[in-house]
Amino acid sequence: KISQKTNVKFNEYTSLVKFAVFSPDGKSIVSASYDKTIRIWDVKTRMLIGSPLKGHTDWINSVFFSPNGQYIVSASCDKTMMVWDVKTGQSVGKPLKGHVKGVNFASFSPDGKYIVSASDDKTLLVWDINASIPVGLPLKGHTDRVNSAFFSHDGKYIVSASDDKTIRIWTASTGQIVTIFSGKDIDKVKSAIFSPNGKCIVSVSDDKIVRLWHFPSL
Kindly state the average pLDDT of the residues 145-155: 97
Give the pLDDT mean for 72-78: 98
- The whole-angstrom separation of Cα 128 and Cα 133 is 6
Q: Are 25 and 34 in contact (CB under 8 A)?
A: no
Furthest CA-CA distance within the chain: 50
- What pLDDT, on the 0 to 100 scale, is given for residue 8? 53
The pLDDT value given to residue 2: 39
Amino acid of residue 4: Q
**Is residue 7 over pLDDT 80?**
no
Q: pLDDT at residue 182 above 60?
A: yes
142 residue type, one letter: H
